[in-house]
Structure 1
Amino acid sequence: MKINIPTMLTWLRILLIPIFVGAFYWPENLRKLSAMPSHEVNVFITVVFAIAAITDWLDGYLARRWNQTSAFGAFLDPVADKLMVAAALIVLVEFGRVGAIVALIIIGREIAVSALREWMAGEGQRSSVGVAMIGKVKTTVQMIAILFLLFWDDIDLGALGVFPTQLWGHILIVIAAFLTLLSMAYYLKAALPKLRGQ
């Protein structure tokens, strides 16, 4: 396994997962798991998740720019992404910030599309189910929604008023779930000729 900066960033993203999940269960929250975390905990978790999300973009960008792509990196990167999103959604469900159905749609799609890509790769046609624009839009909306829902508290913008992160987090996560279904349909359609052949 060749270690380079993009791969290290991917590993960092994985290592950040237990940190932002564990912060929800800091001693003050262990007294009552259904209690809402404090504002400070929300801010900390949001910052940690934001750092992880930035590494998601940065590791791929650096790997391409520095020509440091590898088979292991191509395997590890999507695994890290899915672990990060799944962990965040599960915690958000537990604290009542996301509906279980929305979380199941998003996590289920990630598992299904990953399995589809692995199968298509085994058939030598991975490129036909490569990342499409709708998938990128879905990921962007999903990440912003999760950040809002992790932060949770409204943001005081002074003279501009108050930005309702809860409201926009809920709106965007529903949009992300809808885009999730659309993107899954897109990938299934792309793989349909091969599926029919089986």
Structure 2
Amino acid sequence: MPTNIPNLLTWFRIWMIPVFVCLLYLPDTLLDVHQKHLFSTLIFALAAVTDWLDGYLARSLNQTSAFGAFLDPVADKLMVAAALIVLAELGQVAAFIAFIIIGREITISALREWMAQIGASKSVAVSMIGKVKTAFQMLAILLLLYQEPVMGVSAHQVGTWLIYLAAVLTLWSMVYYLMLAMPQISRKQRE
């Protein structure tokens, strides 16, 4: 396991997950609701920044590694899943939306692993639709965590619209990746 700055940032993101989750369940006597919203949003935003930063540093410092390439998406998916599960439990996100997004992540991760095993990983490389889906998803989660109006606009309402849009893009991107993989799947079934 290579120890370098990008991998340490990825580990830091994983270590923030229990802090993030516990923060939202602290009694109101320790942190009021406003503080919980603010701090959980800041922690999630920090996780998003470290996600971008670890990739940037890995490339610019030439510190990419197979372990880092494995751990980085795992950290991302764990943080997003934790946020969606907590938001669903707190009634801020519909459970079926959380299921769609988390289910897609599991499905596409398994598909990518299988495609890598058969030497066709480039067939399901990250696409623009996946990047757009991620951007909407991250912004939606930030707004749903914050909950409070931003410049007179309801963060909850905008976050809800964006998470529904992210769910549609999630399904679209899953179908897109499955269609890209279909020729390889068909070929393997004939063998």
For normalisation by structure 1, the TM-score amounts to 0.92
**Does structure 1 residue 175 correspond to structure 2 residue 165?**
yes
**Does structure 1 residue 194 correspond to structure 2 residue 184?**
yes
The 5 A counterparts of 1:92-171 are 92-155=87-150, 157=151, 162-171=152-161
* Structure 1: 4+ residue segments shifted above 4 A: none
**Does structure 1 residue 67 correspond to structure 2 residue 67?**
no
Q: Return the letter of the residue paired with 2:19.
A: I
Task: Note the residue ranges of structure 2 that are not aligned, 5 or more in a row.
Answer: none
Question: Relative to 1, partners in 2 of residues 1:102 and 1:29: Cα closer, same or farther, differing over 3 Å?
Answer: farther
State how far apart, in whole Å, the 2-side matches of 1:187 and 1:113 are: 7
State how far apart, in whole Å, the 1-side matches of 2:29 and 2:82 are: 18
Partner SS, residue 68 of structure 2: helix
- Residue 29 of structure 1 deviates from its aligned partner by 7.6
State how far apart, in whole Å, the 1-side matches of 2:121 and 2:65 are: 16
State how far apart, in whole Å, the 2-side matches of 1:74 and 1:116 are: 16
State how far apart, in whole Å, the 2-side matches of 1:2 and 1:101 are: 38
Q: Deviations over 1:89-111 (max 9, x none)?
A: 00000110000010000000000
Q: Return the letter of the residue paired with 1:151.
A: Y
User: 1:33 corresponds to which residue?
Assistant: none
Q: Deviations over 1:119-167 (max 9, x none)?
A: 0000011111111111011001000000000001112x3xxxx021011
Q: Return the letter of the residue paired with 1:81.
A: D
Q: Return the letter of the residue paired with 1:97.
A: Q
Q: Return the letter of the residue paired with 2:129.
A: I
User: 1:17 corresponds to which residue?
Assistant: 17
- Residue 28 of structure 1 deviates from its aligned partner by 2.7
Partner SS, residue 103 of structure 2: helix
Q: Return the letter of the residue paired with 1:182.
A: W
- Residue 184 of structure 1 deviates from its aligned partner by 0.5
**Does structure 1 residue 78 correspond to structure 2 residue 73?**
yes
Task: Note the residue ranges of structure 1 that are not aligned, 5 or more in a row.
Answer: 31-36
Partner SS, residue 28 of structure 2: helix
Partner SS, residue 186 of structure 2: helix
Partner SS, residue 174 of structure 1: helix
Q: Relative to structure 2, which stretch is displaced further, 64-73 or 113-122?
A: 64-73
Partner SS, residue 14 of structure 1: helix
